Amino acid sequence: MRAAVLGANDGIVSTASLVLGVAAAQATHHAILVAGIAGLVAGTMSMAAGEYVSVRSQADSEEAALNLERQELQADDEGERRELTAIYINRGIEPALARQVAQQLMAHDALGAHARDELGISEQLKARPLQAALASATSFATGSAMPLIAVALAPVDRLIPVVAVSSLLFLAVLGALAARAGGAPIGIGAGRVTFWGALAMALTAAVGTLFGTPV
């Protein structure tokens, strides 16, 4: 969810800002569209690579922690049992019951019990680099395509306002959906995403106006 929302938001903001900056520099419609497509491709690959490297590092850390836990279980099984018992006691379980729970869980799957309750690693929350990279790349490309469609359909003399307004609407919808999925107030979620998107587009357009030359 995090990777998908981040990718879509980044796709809309970066591509809309890019095409607005190029448009503000008085570029031709073709040049603006080419710049936007190039931004889509570059951004998609960057998001995929960045997410993969980040989550891969997390997965490596989890695997290293599990390997260390295997060694500790082999070297001192009773000590690990006491450690697990202490964890359950700290969570409010009576000592006698905590020892019983630790004993039964370790008899069933000692590494799994320590991974889940000591290290916070479970199958549901396990780092998945390829899945995260694919989600980021797909969502970025989807978000990036939205302002590009506006660029392709908008008249040249109205390109800047059409792209700006449509992109802000896309961001508001995305922010509202993300807020609803996370249980947060929809208005606040939509507003903060729209604000930062508008700021990014305004600054990029200002740069294009200030430093741009006709293409």
The answer, as to whether pTM is greater than 0.75, is no
CB 111 within 8 A of CB 130: no
Residue of 11, 53, 15, 18 whose CA lies nearest to 138:
11
pLDDT score at 156 = 85
pLDDT of residue 18 exceeding 80, the answer is yes
Q: Considering only CA atoms, which of 34, 16, 64, 2 is closest in space to residue 169?
A: 16
* Phi, psi dihedral angles at 211 (to 5 degrees): -110, -5
Structure tokens at 202: 């305004």
Distance CA 49, CA 200 (A): 23
Report pLDDT digits (tens) over 102-128. Answer: 888 888 888 888 888 877 777 666 678
Q: How many CA atoms lie within 13 A of 119 on its CB side?
A: 25
Query: Would you say how long the chain is, in residues?
Result: 215
3-state secondary structure of 179: helix
